[in-house]
Chains A and B, each alone.
Chain A
């Protein structure tokens, strides 16, 4: 029995593993056109291996626990870039290997969380806002539809994401979405408690569940990510996605190179490949998120470009705010969220 087990271990370890010919990318599911793997192989001769995570915080925890030598390219939101750099989970890019960075729109270059794009380039971006049924809810979209018990038009769901939901509440109250003031965060958490106890509140839900509720007519408005809403607006002509007048979150997912990547050249080749205009357009047409790739725009389907849930109007863009890593102050947010969910 014991020898058999040892033999098994040996056999498993001798299996051909990830040689330099493979590039591994670690990302959310359904976040890349799978047919790009063949194209990548045709262009570079390397295999593309897609690995999936459910929540980027868990991905970071896993890397922190010693998984950085297992992956080449990491996809994570801009808000965690500073943290990942500080924890030495990502490495500075070799800019010379990324000529396609010229394709990225100026608005998405040199972000505050990554000056000079030292660690990454944007992959896709999006927002969080309200999905609603315009047959049942009228007027200018506002967070009050879900946060003000006096103005809630009908059954609704809140988003089950600590940072996004607290930040949106802060925006509704006219405060900074990245507030570090304990009194402001306390006020926001009290507002959420009041909203939660409203008879019309169907609870906190993930983006998909919230979208399903509005689609099924059980809720008239839900806090969702734009990606969840975008694919379904066509199913019912009265459905809308809007960024509330008080301001909303904008996020951008970054392509980064793992600190101990076994294949640095391949990692850069993959990022450069994904930043290519043609590849970027094909990818954007498939996954239906907003591409920061200016050069790809000409080849993105016009109906996607015209979809306000994917590409917001220029005046809406001005109200969008990036969430920041608040370092030690995130403990205040933790306390606020715990209060929201226990009172």
Chain B
């Protein structure tokens, strides 16, 4: 694996640069004292102070986080089980193909169509229970609905590359089904599950159209606030918030990695 051609590194760095240029621009704008327009007006931390004092932004950020975590949890569990159930059962060909298309349906459906469809469904269900009143619950349900697919797709592509030899070996060693799941299947699937959950979470954080239609007045999320402000030009408070989110996420990731290394370094029993 260490004999990768050098151009692979270059291409990767190109990718990283393309990914991070906008973040850099956002960070610079968050320190610019000019409110509207692009001119550099001098360095300031004012926008961070204003952002921290802006209740609407803070509550929207909290809603987004709550929504993202809850819907991702539901979607990760349901999507992983779905992928395993589909890939590890000798379903007839027609059923496999049918469910393949069904899983891809939320991926191929335009946001606005999904939004209108979901809003219609909630309107019908509301007749039956007040749970479906526009709000955080409908948001969580709506997001989980399209997230399930993304998780199932990523976990499924991982499953397809896992051989069955190890499961068979474990079986030969008289492992029971529970042990096989916990000790063999899940650890091997974990990278896929984590990747799927990450993907699902970021899609939830970014969603505007579906959120706009199914949210209620008490459940404004960040994208809703951001899109509303775009009409007058993105405000520096939003840039400050984005920078804080990026910095916070990176810090959390690096911290986790560091803890992981330390744990791995200490000898196990």
Residues from 88 to 123 in B contacting A, C-beta threshold 8 Å: 116, 119-120, 122-123
Q: Would you list 17 pairs from A and B whose C-beta atoms are within 8 A, ordered by A residue? A: A18-B218, A24-B217, A28-B231, A28-B232, A52-B224, A52-B229, A53-B228, A54-B230, A55-B231, A61-B213, A62-B212, A62-B213, A212-B37, A212-B38, A216-B38, A232-B36, A235-B37
Report how far A12 CA is from B70 CA in the complex, Å.
Answer: 12
Q: Is there contact, CB below 8 Å, between B38 and A18?
A: no
Given contacts A18-B217, A52-B229, 17 further A-B contacts (CB under 8 A): A5-B74, A9-B131, A9-B137, A13-B133, A29-B229, A52-B224, A54-B228, A54-B231, A61-B213, A67-B134, A70-B216, A70-B217, A212-B37, A215-B37, A231-B36, A232-B36, A235-B37
What residues on B are CB-neighbors of A49 within 8 Å?
217
For the complex, give the distance between the alpha carbons of A298 and B57 in Å. 35
A71 part of interface (Cβ distance < 8 Å)? yes
Q: A161 vs B104: C-alpha distance in the bound complex, in angstroms?
A: 33
Closest A-B pairs by Cβ, 3 of them: A52-B228, A65-B119, A29-B228
Distance in angstroms between the alpha carbons of A67 and B230 in the assembled complex: 23
Within the assembled complex, what's the spacing in Å between the Cα atoms of A71 and B232? 23
Q: Which residues of B contact A55 (CB under 8 A)?
A: 231
The answer to whether the Cβ of B8 comes within 8 Å of any Cβ in the partner chain is: no
Smallest CB-CB separation from A206: which chain B residue?
A: B231
* A30 near B37: Cβ-Cβ < 8 Å: no
Which residues in chain A, 16-71, are within 8 Å of chain B measured between CB atoms? 17-18, 24, 28-30, 49-55, 58, 61-62, 65-67, 70-71
Bound state CA distance, A58 and B208, in angstroms?
A: 12
Counting chain A residues whose Cβ lies within 8 A of the other chain, the interface size class is 35 or more
List residues 158-179 of chain B with CB under 8 A from any CB of chain A: none
B contact residues, range: 35 or more
CB neighbors of B among A81-125 (8 A): none
A335 at the interface (CB under 8 A from B): no
Indicate if the CB atoms of A51 and B217 lie closer than 8 Å: yes
Q: With a CB–CB cut-off of 8 A, which chain A residues contact B134?
A: 66-67, 70
| CB-based contact A66/B77 at 8 Å | no
Q: How far is the CA of A15 from the CA of B217 in the complex (A)?
A: 13
Question: Given A12, A29, A67, which contacts B232 in the complex, CB threshold below 8 Å?
Answer: A29
Chain B residues within 8 Å of A212, by CB: 37-38, 233
